[in-house]
Amino acid sequence: MSDWIERLRNVEPMEDVQIDNELVAAMEQEFLSADDSSFPGINFYTPTFKVFETSELKDCGKSAWPAVSITGGDCKLQCDHCKAKILEPMIPARTPEQLWRVVNGIIEEGAQGMLLTGGSNHRNQVEYDNYYSTIRRIKDEYPDFKIALHTALVDDDIALCMEQSGIDAAMMDVIGSQDTITQVYHLRRSVDDFESTLESLVSTKMKVVPHIVIGLHYGHLLGEWNAMEIIKRHLPDAVVLVVVMPFYAPESRPFATPDPHAVGRFFMDARKTLPATPLLLGCARPAGTVKSQIDAYAVMAGLNGVAHPADGSVELAARLDRKVRITPACCSIAVGDEVMALDGDNTGLEIDLNVIIEQERQRRNLAKNAKMGLGGIPIVSEIDKVSATGCCGA
C-alpha cells in the first residue's frame, strides 16, 4: 500500500472512500519528483471549519459577494446543463440605474464586491455596453469595492472597455470541444473564439480567471484537456475548476455524474500542465460520496485551493504535509474566493495538523450530538474566535 493511501485511510471520514490506487500512486510520485513550488500550500475556503457555524458566517458569503445579473433570469442560449437556472437567484439589475441602486444597497449591507453577470445572447455575449459608464462610476465612488465580471465571449475592443470601466477580475468558461459548443451550448461559435477571448482578456490589466467546467459534455470529459492547453498558451492569473452539476438538464438530454477518477486524473494533468498557475476547485461539484472522492484527489493532485471541502479534506492535506490555510468564506458566490485567492498566499489562517485533527473531531462529535437532539446549542471555542475573522472582515 502506498504511503499516501495509508495516510488517506487514517482520515476517519475518508477511510472508506473508494479511490484509484494507481492514480494515487502516480500523484504521490509526482509529488516526490516535484520541486516545492509545484506543490504549494493549500487554502480551504469554508464557513464550516469551526466547532459551531455562526449565522453571521453562514450569511456572509451572500452579503459579502452577491451576484448581480443584468438580464435578471433571462438567457437566450439555454444551454443543456443550465437552462438559465443559475441566474434565477441572482439580484436583477436590468438597467444601469438599477445597477447603481443595487450596488449602493449591497455596499450598505456590507458587500465587499460582486459578481456581475447576465444571460447570453445567441452569440454567447453578455451585452454590457450600456453599463460601462455606471461600472466606472461605481469604481470611482467605491474604489475598494471589487467587481468580477463574467465576460462571456469578447474581442479586444470589448475587453478594453471592461478594463477601462475598472473591472477587477474577468471570468469566462473555456470550452475546448467543438461538439460541446455546438451540442450543449447550441452555439455557432468555434473553439478558437474561446481562445481569442482569453487572449484579449489577458492583454488587459484585469485579473483573468477562466473556468473549466469538467464533465460539460453531458457528464463526460471531452474538451477539458484542450481547454487546459488553451489556458497554457495565455497564462491567466488563476484557473477555477468546477465539476458539472446538471440539475437542470432536460430528460431528453440527460447528464451523467462525471467519473470522479477521471476528474482526479484531470486534476493531476492540470497540475502538471500549469505548474505555476493557481488552480482552485470551485464550489460547484456533485455532492455526497463523489464529492469526497473528488476532493481527496484535489488535495493529492496539488491544487492550490478548494472551496467548501468535503469532510476530511483539511485533515488529509495536513497529513500529506501540505501547508494548510483556512479562509472562512462562504462560497455560494465563488467570486469572493477567487478574488481573495488572487491576492496571494497571505489570505486565510495557517493551522497545524494537531489543531486540524482536534477541530475535525470536535465538529464530527458535534454533528453526531446534533443528530441526537443537541443541535442549535452554540458552542464557541478559541478556534472559532480566531477563524471567524477574515470572511467579511468581521
Return residues touching ligand SF4 (CB under 6 A): 75, 77-79, 82-84, 86-87, 119-120
Q: How far apart are alpha carbons 8 and 119 in whole angstroms?
A: 42
Nearest to 383 by CA among 367, 366, 363: 363
User: What minimum distance in Å lies between the beta carbon of 181 and ligand SF4?
Assistant: 11
User: What minimum distance in Å lies between the beta carbon of 124 and ligand SF4?
Assistant: 6
CA dist 190 to 95, 175, 177, Å? 31, 9, 9
- H or E, element range at 103: helix 96-108
User: What minimum distance in Å lies between the beta carbon of 73 and ligand SF4?
Assistant: 9
**Long-range CB contacts (< 8 A, 24+ apart) of 248-254?**
248/81, 248/82, 248/83, 248/85, 249/80, 249/81, 249/83, 249/218, 250/80, 250/83, 253/80, 253/218, 254/218
User: What minimum distance in Å lies between the beta carbon of 114 and ligand SF4?
Assistant: 17
**CB of 119 or CB of 219, closer to ligand SF4:** 119
**CB of 84 or CB of 298, closer to ligand SF4:** 84
**CB of 77 or CB of 342, closer to ligand SF4:** 77
Q: Is 209 helix (H, G, I), strand (E, B) or coil?
A: strand
User: What minimum distance in Å lies between the beta carbon of 306 and ligand SF4?
Assistant: 23
**CB of 194 or CB of 297, closer to ligand SF4:** 194
**Going by DSSP bridges, is the β-strand pair 67-69/91-92 parallel, antiparallel, or unpaired?**
parallel
The answer to whether 296 and 313 have CB atoms below 8 angstroms apart is yes
User: What minimum distance in Å lies between the beta carbon of 185 and ligand SF4?
Assistant: 6
**CB of 120 or CB of 180, closer to ligand SF4:** 120
**CB of 175 or CB of 301, closer to ligand SF4:** 175
User: What minimum distance in Å lies between the beta carbon of 194 and ligand SF4?
Assistant: 13
**CB of 136 or CB of 186, closer to ligand SF4:** 186
Q: For 324, phi and psi rounded to 5 degrees?
A: -100, 130
Cell of 126: 453578455
Q: For 204, phi and psi rounded to 5 degrees?
A: -95, 180
